Amino acid sequence: MVVDPWLTKDPFWPLSEREPERLKEIDVIAITHAHIDHAAGVDEMVRQNENVFVIVQSEFGHSLEARGMKNIIRTNFGGTVELKGIKFSMVPASHTSSWMDQTGKREIFGTAAGYVIEFENGEKVYVSGDTGLTGDMKFVVSDFFKPQISILPVTGLFAMEPDQAAYAANVIGSKYVVPSHDFPKEVSLAADPEAYRKLLKRLPVLNSYKKVETFLEIMKRDYPHIETVYIPIGETVVIG
Amino acid sequence: MVVDPWLTKDPFWPLSEREPERLKEIDVIAITHAHIDHAAGVDEMVRQNENVFVIVQSEFGHSLEARGMKNIIRTNFGGTVELKGIKFSMVPASHTSSWMDQTGKREIFGTAAGYVIEFENGEKVYVSGDTGLTGDMKFVVSDFFKPQISILPVTGLFAMEPDQAAYAANVIGSKYVVPSHDFPKEVSLAADPEAYRKLLKRLPVLNSYKKVETFLEIMKRDYPHIETVYIPIGETVVIG
Amino acid sequence: MVVDPWLTKDPFWPLSEREPERLKEIDVIAITHAHIDHAAGVDEMVRQNENVFVIVQSEFGHSLEARGMKNIIRTNFGGTVELKGIKFSMVPASHTSSWMDQTGKREIFGTAAGYVIEFENGEKVYVSGDTGLTGDMKFVVSDFFKPQISILPVTGLFAMEPDQAAYAANVIGSKYVVPSHDFPKEVSLAADPEAYRKLLKRLPVLNSYKKVETFLEIMKRDYPHIETVYIPIGETVVIG
């Protein structure tokens, strides 16, 4: 299972994980929104693995189907899709969704969403996708779904700043919180340094690691009862 | 008054109700969003009844006007439109709105909404339209408007699953709740079986009645203080 | 600093304030959404003042850049932009954003937003932009940001009606609330009467002052602990 893959020119995803034989092991791709760093290359992944299912917001799915993509499962807020024993429930996100076509024209592509993913053992993970602080984190995610793990963006500007993210983590009340949306501290640390160098010309995100550090400090100081689990890019961490 | 008409190829709406003389009796049409099952054929209804007013979200209204439609009343979240003594207040919905034109191209058509409709006697009905669970059901609909009746989608995938809908019904706190968005259990039960057969090729909704049953069970078990009123397709029920 | 300028054909903005030398004094423009009365003429303002920065929601910014506009700072919900010591935090709004191009075609232009603006002394002003009542006024604006001043639309139809706005003011809990979105009571009172006369053909807003009066009455009657500060069009008021 992969959430928000970024295959094409992704500077971070380990290259060895992007080999065709590895892509064929993926059963389900769930996408939160169409921005390049969450969805670029999805069509390529489906071409290389015709058994994969792609869960997306309904209008986004229509747009992908209009481009010839197959294996799309369209859903919308409030809906739950069950695949291989795992339940994907689409929840609101305070964000947007658009896609730039090859002529450079940007189109609205559906609506940004998050997921609460429930595994066969009943454990739930909230993958917020990019989002600002919003009341549905309390009312929908926390009160109704009660996830044990929350993965939240913490690097600001296009989603929650560190202080908002820490506040959100506390309100949601998951036992574990995982900060996300960070970028490598140095070009040489990227899985694909050349792709990272190009990205940095458009998005100056080299200092996003500082926001992660701020988030970790706030969590430690204000919310020590929550276990904050930082997963360095390309690494694997076992939670719980 | 009609909310979310589906004139063209609607498999459910009794054919006798769609005769021109019946359509002419309609004073107001309020539309929650542009998906086919909520809005197809609205232009035809206005052509056959030039005295009808159509209340829609502002950008959706611009799109309809650009197609030559008349009698549009554009509004937006927070606004109240009063017509013939009835107040239509537009409230948020956690859903989307798009429309496929005759060339097959799908366009975003405004933004999905719900309505709180207040009658002359002060009774209020919340017609959520399609929506996922969202905090504005509590904060806007329940706390501010306090409707006596709530009509909620309960059949999942593109809107609330039965458990979310039951949870929502309890939080909103209306005395009566009416489950919606179900489809006939068998093709032969549809008002227009041929149209239903065609629809089923695109949307496999034959089993949606099971979700209604689940909803009714949850309401009976967990929220017996709420009167759940199921209105079979094509039938009429007097509430209260 | 200017929020939501309406340069071209704005009937209200004093003409003397729109002279090139005055426009050159502006450091930052923050836009809540693309509707004409909040954004028309922004490109002209940037042409006349190449030192100004324009803060907008990300997709709206892409659309402006595609039209050749410079000095755009794109952000999104949850993000904070700091310029000249002032922090602009983008918060949700329950509204929409679109723009009509010169051929008359209307396009979705980003997503509507509000701002919490924090000055160097720590004082915060919530500029909601056009919005309906929404739970994020409580959860994001009040609970997280706690602004001392709130500027809210009160004239209904396309944003909060007076009773919703008063309810919102109380929930947000700012010490001061400023009603907005009103229009001159008479054509002759407009800064540009000819522009106002043309506008009135499209938007019959001559009676919006009555909604302001209703809002002021509700605030006085139900929420006398909040200081409601009405700023007549074209005038200046010192708060606090």
Half-sphere exposure of B184 (CA within 13 A, CB side): 22
| Mean local confidence (pLDDT), A157-172 | 98
What is the predicted pLDDT for the residue at C129? 96
Cα separation, A42 vs A30, in Å, equals 10
Closest-approach residue (CA) in chain A for C139: A135
Q: Are A125 and A151 in contact (CB under 8 A)?
A: yes
Under an 8 A CB cutoff, do A79 and B132 touch? yes
| Mean local confidence (pLDDT), A36-60 | 91
What is the predicted pLDDT for the residue at C168? 98
Quote the tokens at residue A189: 């640390």
| Mean local confidence (pLDDT), B77-105 | 91
Decide: residue A203, CB within 10 A, 0-12 exposed, 13-18 middle, 19+ buried. Answer: middle
For an interface test with C, give the residue of A38, A137, A158, A181 to mutate (most C CBs within 10 A). A158
Tens digits of residue pLDDT in C175-220: 999 999 888 889 998 888 998 998 898 888 888 999 999 999 999 9
Under an 8 A CB cutoff, do A132 and C91 touch? yes
Q: For residue C165, what are the contacts with CB-CB under 8 A and spacing of at least 6?
A: C133, C152, C153, C154, C179, C215
Burial call C8-25: b when 16+ CB within 10 Å, e when fewer: eebbbbeeeebeeeebee
Which is more confidently placed, C174 or C102?
Answer: C174
What is the predicted pLDDT for the residue at B14? 86
CA distance A55 to chain B (A): 11
- Count the neighbouring beta carbons within 10 Å of the beta carbon of residue B48: 18
Under an 8 A CB cutoff, do B98 and A62 touch? yes
Cα separation, A89 vs A30, in Å, equals 10
At residue B110, does pLDDT exceed 90? no
Confidence of residue B202 (pLDDT cuts 50, 70, 90): confident
Q: How far is CA A119 from CA A1, A78, A188, B72, in A?
A: 11, 18, 36, 47
Write the single-letter amino acid at B145: F
| Mean local confidence (pLDDT), C56-77 | 92
Of the listed ranges A27-31, B26-30, B36-40, the least confidently predicted one is: B36-40
At residue C163, does pLDDT exceed 90? yes
Under an 8 A CB cutoff, do B92 and C95 touch? no
Q: Are C67 and C43 in contact (CB under 8 A)?
A: yes
| Mean local confidence (pLDDT), C61-73 | 90
Which is more confidently placed, B90 or A189?
Answer: B90
What is the predicted pLDDT for the residue at C110? 84
- Where do we find the tokens 């709004």? C93
- Closest to B164 (Cβ–Cβ): which among A66, A92, A144? A144
Closest-approach residue (CA) in chain C for B64: C106
Q: Are B126 and B30 in contact (CB under 8 A)?
A: no
- Closest to A135 (Cβ–Cβ): which among C59, C63, C140? C140
At residue A180, does pLDDT exceed 90? yes
What is the predicted pLDDT for the residue at B28? 95
ipTM, 2 dp: 0.94
According to the 3-state scheme, what is the secondary structure of chain B? Answer: CEECCCCCCCCCCCHHHHCHHHHCCCCEEECCCCCHHHHCCHHHHHHHCCCCEEEEEHHHHHHHHHCCCCCEEEECCCCEEEECCEEEEEEECCCCCEEECCCCCEEECCCCEEEEEECCCCCEEEECCCCCCCCHHHHHHHHHHCCCEEEEECCCCCCCCHHHHHHHHHHHCCCEEEEECCCCCCHHHCCCHHHHHHHHHHCCCCCHHHHHHHHHHHHHHHCCCCEECCCCCCCCCCCC
CA distance B44 to chain C (A): 23
For an interface test with C, give the residue of A35, A164, A171, A172 to mutate (most C CBs within 10 A). A164
- Closest to B90 (Cβ–Cβ): which among C108, C132, C153? C132
At residue C104, does pLDDT exceed 80? no
Reported as type and span, the H/E element at residue A201 is: helix A193-202
Q: Which of A11, A14, A65, A15 is nearest to A42 (CA)?
A: A65
Quote the tokens at residue A103: 């002529």
What is the predicted pLDDT for the residue at C132? 98
> Which residues from C are below 8 Å from B140, CB to CB?
132-135
> Which residues from A are below 8 Å from C135, CB to CB?
135-136, 139
For an interface test with B, give the residue of C38, C96, C100, C139 to mutate (most B CBs within 10 A). C96
What is the predicted pLDDT for the residue at A54? 96
Q: Chains with ≥3 Cβ pairs under 8 A against B? A: A, C
For an interface test with A, give the residue of C55, C77, C83 to mutate (most A CBs within 10 A). C77
C201-C207-C213 Cα angle (round to 5): 155
Q: Are B80 and B89 in contact (CB under 8 A)?
A: yes
Under an 8 A CB cutoff, do B158 and A76 touch? yes
Confidence of residue C157 (pLDDT cuts 50, 70, 90): very high
Cα separation, A147 vs B35, in Å, equals 32
Quote the tokens at residue A79: 């809906």
Helix, strand, or coil (residue C77) = coil
Under an 8 A CB cutoff, do B77 and C153 touch? no
Q: Which of B229, B56, B33, B236 is nearest to B149 (CA)?
A: B229
Confidence of residue B85 (pLDDT cuts 50, 70, 90): very high
Of the listed ranges B32-36, B107-111, C43-47, C196-200, the least confidently predicted one is: B107-111
Paired strand residues for C75: C57
Q: Report the interhelical angle of C208-222 vs C162-172 (nearest 10°).
A: 40
What is the predicted pLDDT for the residue at C74? 95
Q: How far is CA B232 from CA B103, B126, B223, C175, in A?
A: 35, 19, 21, 51
Beta strand extents in chain C (DSSP E only) = 2-3, 28-30, 53-57, 72-75, 80-83, 86-92, 98-100, 106-108, 113-118, 124-127, 149-153, 176-180, 227-228
Closest-approach residue (CA) in chain A for C145: A164
State the average pLDDT for chain C. 92
Closest-approach residue (CA) in chain C for A111: C111
Tens digits of residue pLDDT in A92-151: 999 998 887 767 778 788 899 999 999 999 999 999 999 999 999 999 999 999 999 999
Under an 8 A CB cutoff, do A76 and B108 touch? no
By percentage, how much of chain A surpasses pLDDT 70? Answer: 100
| Mean local confidence (pLDDT), A64-85 | 93
Tens digits of residue pLDDT in B153-177: 999 999 999 999 999 999 999 999 9
At residue A240, does pLDDT exceed 80? no
Phi, psi of B202 (to 5 degrees): -95, -35
What is the predicted pLDDT for the residue at A8? 78
Helix, strand, or coil (residue A187) = helix
- Count the neighbouring beta carbons within 10 Å of the beta carbon of residue A237: 9
- Closest to C144 (Cβ–Cβ): which among A94, A106, A167? A167
- Closest to B95 (Cβ–Cβ): which among A63, A76, A138? A76
What is the predicted pLDDT for the residue at C58? 94
What is the predicted pLDDT for the residue at B119? 97
Confidence of residue B10 (pLDDT cuts 50, 70, 90): confident
At residue B102, does pLDDT exceed 80? no
Cα separation, A1 vs A86, in Å, equals 10
| Mean local confidence (pLDDT), B52-81 | 93
Closest-approach residue (CA) in chain B for C164: B78
Q: Are B42 and B75 in contact (CB under 8 A)?
A: no
Paired strand residues for B87: B82, B118
> Which residues from C are below 8 Å from A134, CB to CB?
77, 92, 136, 139-140
- Count the neighbouring beta carbons within 10 Å of the beta carbon of residue A142: 18
Quote the tokens at residue B183: 């489809």
- Count the neighbouring beta carbons within 10 Å of the beta carbon of residue B68: 9
> Which residues from B are below 8 Å from C164, CB to CB?
78, 144
Quote the tokens at residue C18: 């729109």
Under an 8 A CB cutoff, do C159 and B77 touch? yes
A to B CB pairs, distance under 8 Å: 78
At residue B9, does pLDDT exceed 80? no
> Which residues from A are below 8 Å from C76, CB to CB?
95-96, 130, 132, 157-159
Helix, strand, or coil (residue A189) = helix
Reported as type and span, the H/E element at residue A228 is: strand A227-228
- Closest to C138 (Cβ–Cβ): which among A105, A130, A135? A135
Question: What secondary structure letter does DSSP report for A93?
Answer: -
Cα separation, A10 vs A183, in Å, equals 11
Question: What secondary structure letter does DSSP report for C199?
Answer: H
pTM for this one?
Answer: 0.95
